[in-house]
Structure 1
Amino acid sequence: MIRLFHVSDVHFGREDRAAVAWFDAAVHAERPDAIVMTGDLTMRARSAEFAAATAWLEALKRPVTVEVGNHDLPAFNLFARLFRPYRRFTRLEAVIEKELDLPGVTIVPMKTTARFQLRNWSKGSVSDRSLRKAVSGVEAADKGGLVIVACHHPLIEAGTQATARTHNGRPALAALAQAGADAVLSGHVHDPFDRVVEEGGRPVRMIGAGTLSSRVRESRPSFNELRIDGRDLEVIVRTMP
């Protein structure tokens, strides 16, 4: 059995230190096979926040892949946002949007953030380029195991208090399902969810993680534990006591 910890929206700068310590203790005690972090490591993409996030990830000492969240792009420096949005990710470069290939499961990354939009910049957007790259990764994955896509924004709304309003999200979900994706992991909305929807003529599972930050909404700080046994996927929401 493969065990993954799916964590999201830690928001260093506004992190809940007790929640982060609780997650760290679970990682060190249980040693999951990998950690999938679906974005918003930081609150304002400041250097000090990235330094804290980097130290945190390195201390976990587990295989990890990290998606970029909307809070991980510079919020106030327009030049940096448009032309150097990932400059502060330097030490994390090796794990940003990294595909994980584990026995029985492949994790394929997909970017859903945009440097510029003629609307609220926090909302999701799937570019043609990002979708092509993700579909290619899904198609190349071993279909003998599960194929899971990881992104920051839910591709369609999941009934949570917060919204993603992801541009091109539903067509992207259909294309990923048609390519063979079994599930899509995301964050952004700060509340966990687990839904099966029919897209592209196939069922695909949408799984969202909560937050380890102080910016909670309807639920307490939490992360997801994914247990994969053959084609079976069990999702356990681990909520901080």
Structure 2
Amino acid sequence: MSIYRIAHLSDPHLPPPPGAFGLSDVFTKRLLSRIAWRKKRKIHRPEVLAALVADMKAAAPDHVVISGDLTNFASPAEITAARAWLEALGDAADHTISPGNHDALAGPGGHERFAIWSPWLGDAGEASFPQVRVRGPVAIFNLCSALPTAPHLATGRLGTEQLQRLDAALADPAHAERFRLVVLHHPPHHGAVSKRKRLEDQEALRAVLAKRGADLVLHGHAHEALVGSVRGPGGAAIPVLGVPSASAKPSRHAPARWHQIEIEPRPEGGHAVRVVARGLSETGTEISELGRFILADLATRAETA
């Protein structure tokens, strides 16, 4: 059986375009982020992101998942510029975007702010969540944990309605034999990030996953390469993987990395999954392979850690 390859990258933090910050933003949370960006722009480098994207494109994955934080201030100019960047990646049907907290930093709180990204959110043609995209042997459950927060907070929340819809989608028998991939920006497990950055309703999400199951959860937000797990039906471990920022040069956070997730249906049922990590080393200046891992081994290691 053929192998289906999904590329996962996150937190590109694209350079703010002209007009990304206006006088009216002085009275919003965008002012704090603009001040913070003076330091962060030395870490989030466009040349690093370009090299990572070129490496990913050379691998020719079947589908690309980007788990949020395309922008820094969530300004209309940034949201529009991010769409242009997405268009340059390729066909929107081959790319799924889960918005991050920086993409909802200030302004209206509803998902309609992401309407301009609708072709990359799912196949419904609208900014709604969750959306389910069936691609090859994979069903991608795209969630949105992004919402405006108070200064110095970077928390996320899914909300009751989105969780109820996720519960129903995961229970749909049409996806029972597929590899069920859940994507969101904030990590769903304890200890991945500090309290001020956590997913506020992570317990409710974990309850849905424990009831309905999934094969893998992908996230960003932590700017680190993280391996974790949450419990599925019967106590089985569901692996959780996070990647560092796709634009980060070596610094106090992990350098840029992307994961190629190779999914191969087994004749007897289920899927064999291998993860290939590619990115910058702590001292390197070129994108290279960093390691290969079997998903089942990662889940076992995370469960016993």
Please report the TM-score for the alignment, with normalisation by the length of structure 2. Answer: 0.69
The structure that has the greater radius of gyration is 2
Match for residue 4 of structure 2? 2
| Residue 131 (structure 1) shift | 0.9
Secondary structure of residue in 2 paired with 1:234: strand
| Residue 103 (structure 1) shift | 1.8
AA partner of residue 36 (structure 1): V
| Residue 226 (structure 1) shift | 0.8
Give 1:73's match in structure 2, choosing from 98, 104, 116: 104
Give the 3 Å change call, closer, same or farther, for CA 194–178 of structure 1 in structure 2. same
Give the 3 Å change call, closer, same or farther, for CA 91–85 of structure 1 in structure 2. closer
| Residue 213 (structure 1) shift | 3.0
Secondary structure of residue in 2 paired with 1:94: helix
For residues 58 and 74 of structure 2, the distance between their equivalents in structure 1, rounded to whole angstroms, comes to 30
Contact 1:157 1:163 (C-alpha < 8 Å) held by counterparts? no
| Structure that is richer in helix per residue | 2
Please, which runs of 5 or more residues in structure 1 have no aligned partner?
Answer: none
Correspondences of 1:35-54 after superposition (within 5 Å): 35-54=64-83
Asked if 1:146 is matched to 2:179, the reply is yes
1:76-116 CA-partner distances (Å, limit 9, x unpaired): xxxx334x6643x3431222254321121111012222345
Give 1:59's match in structure 2, choosing from 76, 82, 88: 88
Contact 1:12 1:50 (C-alpha < 8 Å) held by counterparts? no
Give the 3 Å change call, closer, same or farther, for CA 219–187 of structure 1 in structure 2. same
Give the 3 Å change call, closer, same or farther, for CA 3–217 of structure 1 in structure 2. farther
Give the 3 Å change call, closer, same or farther, for CA 157–213 of structure 1 in structure 2. farther
Structure scoring higher RCO (CA < 8 A, sep ≥ 6) equals: 1
Number of residue pairs the alignment of both structures matches: 234
1:49-68 CA-partner distances (Å, limit 9, x unpaired): 22332122111114111111
Asked if 1:209 is matched to 2:236, the reply is no
Secondary structure of residue in 2 paired with 1:212: coil
Match for residue 163 of structure 2? 131
For residues 174 and 204 of structure 1, the distance between their equivalents in structure 2, rounded to whole angstroms, comes to 12
Asked if 1:181 is matched to 2:210, the reply is no
Please report the TM-score for the alignment, with normalisation by the length of structure 1. Answer: 0.85
Same amino acid, percent of matched pairs: 27
Contact 1:27 1:60 (C-alpha < 8 Å) held by counterparts? no
Correspondences of 1:156-171 after superposition (within 5 Å): 156-159=189-192, 164-171=197-204
CA RMSD, aligned part only? 2.5
Give 2:262's match in structure 1, choosing from 203, 209, 227: 227
